[in-house]
Structure 1
Amino acid sequence: MSDIFTLTPDEGDGGEPTPQKKRGRRRSKPVIALITLASVLVGVIVIVGVVGGVYASRLANSFNDNATKIEQAFPEESTRPAPAPDGAMNILLMGSDSRADATTIDDPSSSDQRTDSMMLVHVDADRENVYVMSIMRDLYVPIPGHGSNKINAAFAYGGSPLTVQTVEQLLGVRIDHVAIIDFEGFKGMTTALGGVDVFSPQAFSTKGGFSYQAGLNKLEGDAALAFVRERYAFADADFTRVKNQQAFVKGLADTILSRSTLTDPGKISSFVTAMSPYLTVDKEFDVGTIASLGFSLRSIDNSRMHFFTIPTAGTGSIGGQSIVNVDQPGLDAVKAALANDSLDAVPIAQ
């Protein structure tokens, strides 16, 4: 069994040992990064599908021209599951906390780059539903060639290829596309949209002085960042934070699909322009792929976007560090549903 090491603890979590000597870097916030990534992908895909025509092509080209491409995003083909025969698509979203050295973001050697936040986006074959599954950062899983560890160790051990291999091995399905994001464009995105209406099931406050009411909150800039980052206000910490992240993406999808956004070319353009420079995607996730996917999802609305968290069986401790245990029966049900494109039959995915 490999040693456990903590990757990218939040403020106040203590030290951060890594698999190699730390390099100087500009820190960012992986939780915010992931929410931003889910948001911008939902936004770009839906907008391209809905608005259509030359304008949509310009938006897609803006995304393609500004996003960074990963040359080596996937593991060796011999280690991978077969592509889905029915046309379903799986996209792995990752938030990295170190983008200072862009040339190593797809480097399969060990590094100090980390992905404490992950979501799997499953687009069903008939393009009627989109499922977004959050993967807990401390989930304790096998990492090929490195024993068992927290899933956020995979990127530090072997970049995007090893992370994809770890997730594919865990879920038993092929990852078709990969996207990584830096959080820096988050404020610009929320400002470009004029704020995002987000539902919170409970009132809470942060140490930074932000307060949120139970019910609907209009979030923009620093208030939006604090909402998706906060965990100390909750008894179950990361579990509620993940739910709040999902609530934000739901709110953003509603905002994007609203008539006030879709009929405002300036707002749409500002949204795509603000975010695309902070994206890194596999080289096949290009204009054509985005346009095709967007067109196929042109009839989707918020009611057809489903958010859930990978099944877990509580927390534990290994080597003095907290981990999240896999709920194996629950995971087996999700794996079977992903393989059969039948997530609609899994209660937690509804």
Structure 2
Amino acid sequence: MTGVNELMGQDHEPAARKPRKRRPVVVVIVSLLVLVAVAGAIAFGYLFSLMNSFESKAQRIESVFPSGAARPETSDANKDALNFLLIGSDVRGGSGETEDLPSVPNGGRSDTMMLVNIPGDRSSINVMSVMRDTWVEIPGQGSHKINAALAFGGIPLLVETLEGMFEVPIDHVAIIDFEGFQSLTDALGGVTVNNPRAFTSTGSQGEHFPAGPVLLDGESALKFVRERKQFSDGDYSRVANQQLFLKSLMSSFLTPDTLLNPGRISTIVDEFSPYVSVDEGLGGAEIGQLAVGLRDVRSGDVHAFTLPNRGVGRSADGQSIVVNDPEAVGAIGEALRDDALTAYVVENGIGN
């Protein structure tokens, strides 16, 4: 399997050797974790079967962690917490601007990144989106949009950049693909979102999404999470819609119709396991153990938010950027190190 160090980025020349195309990866690994947790609550043997399915079908990402660089260490406070880096992949370029986005191993594009924190007590899940244009210090490269880390050094440099910002280790990396929303949404019979603002997606197959509750099928879900051009704040609303859809997706399968139907769970897990790409250290046994720990988590325990920032601005060389907020980064880093991010999010009212 080709490594990921050949990633391309905004305003940079393509790598000399193109990564070998792979099958598209599917949706968010958090969904897999919660589904399998439910299966684990039903029967250990069933959980073991699903873990074997994941182990045999999931794809692996090589070389995701920085080498030769000092990495943050865990402390007694956060030794049981886990942090996942989720990188968004979209073979059709969800932002509509595929030419300036980094390529990922499956031949798609990356314009979304999320840091998922699972506290040591496994009582909740925190999903923090990081705006791709956030202006940060990239180790060895100076100040750039955080997305440029992929261009300069692939996933290892992005991991190093985020670890340097928050001073906590990233334990695992996964690549997700918004194309996967389609199959998972359809498998659930549709997902209802409470759309905060009416809009019509762009393109020849544009679709109108009225304000209020909207039932999305798979194709509509893709349009919903990809759209950005119809919003005056661009990426801000797009990221908010992605978070909204993720929460609604979880709410859809955390229902008796799914939880009490082992066959349905098995079908969903088995269908998208081949499309999940994770680092080599995340195997079926590790996911099974984590899933059992998360068996009591429900949609209300999932907190999705965007890393607070100081709005849109201009870099010294004239680029449109998202201005980083060092105070917010410092506070969230401290909460992560204390294994208290859930309390921080709830107390500051930044999660949804």
1:53 alignment partner, one of 23, 32, 44: 44
Q: Which residue of 1 is the match for residue 170 of structure 2? A: 175
Gaps of 5+ in 2: 1-7, 93-102
Would the alpha carbon gap of residues 41 and 265 (structure 1) be closer, same or farther in structure 2, given more than 3 Å must change?
Answer: closer
Q: Which residue of 2 is the match for residue 197 of structure 1? A: 192
Q: Which residue of 2 is the match for residue 338 of structure 1? A: 336
Paired AA for residue 273 in structure 2: S
Q: Which residue of 1 is the match for residue 214 of structure 2? A: 217
Q: Which residue of 2 is the match for residue 13 of structure 1? A: none
Residues 1:324 and 2:344 are matched in the alignment:
no
SS of equivalent to 1:54: helix
Q: Which residue of 2 is the match for residue 303 of structure 1? A: 300
Q: Deviations over 1:178-234 (max 9, x none)?
A: 111344433221111111122211222112321222222111221000000111222
Would the alpha carbon gap of residues 19 and 145 (structure 1) be closer, same or farther in structure 2, given more than 3 Å must change?
Answer: farther
1:13-92 paired onto structure 2 within 5 Å: 17-18=12-13, 20=15, 23=18, 36-38=27-29, 40-76=31-67, 78-85=69-76, 86=78, 87-92=80-85
Paired AA for residue 247 in structure 1: L
Q: Deviations over 1:235-257 (max 9, x none)?
A: 21111111111111111111121
Following superposition, the deviation at residue 47 of structure 1 comes to 3.3
1:105 touches 1:160 (CA, 8 Å); kept in 2? Answer: no
For 2:133 and 2:32, locate their aligned partners in 1 and report how far apart those are by CA, in whole Å.
25
Paired AA for residue 286 in structure 1: G
For 1:39 and 1:54, locate their aligned partners in 2 and report how far apart those are by CA, in whole Å.
21
For 2:12 and 2:90, locate their aligned partners in 1 and report how far apart those are by CA, in whole Å.
14
TM-score scaled by length of structure 2 = 0.83
Q: Which residue of 1 is the match for residue 244 of structure 2? A: 247
Tell me the matched-pair count: 326
Would the alpha carbon gap of residues 48 and 173 (structure 1) be closer, same or farther in structure 2, given more than 3 Å must change?
Answer: farther
2:193 touches 2:215 (CA, 8 Å); kept in 1? Answer: yes
TM-score scaled by length of structure 1 = 0.84
1:108-257 paired onto structure 2 within 5 Å: 115-207=110-202, 208-257=205-254
Following superposition, the deviation at residue 26 of structure 1 comes to 6.8
2:136 touches 2:143 (CA, 8 Å); kept in 1? Answer: yes
Would the alpha carbon gap of residues 164 and 51 (structure 1) be closer, same or farther in structure 2, given more than 3 Å must change?
Answer: farther
SS of equivalent to 2:114: strand
For 2:256 and 2:62, locate their aligned partners in 1 and report how far apart those are by CA, in whole Å.
38
For 2:84 and 2:46, locate their aligned partners in 1 and report how far apart those are by CA, in whole Å.
25
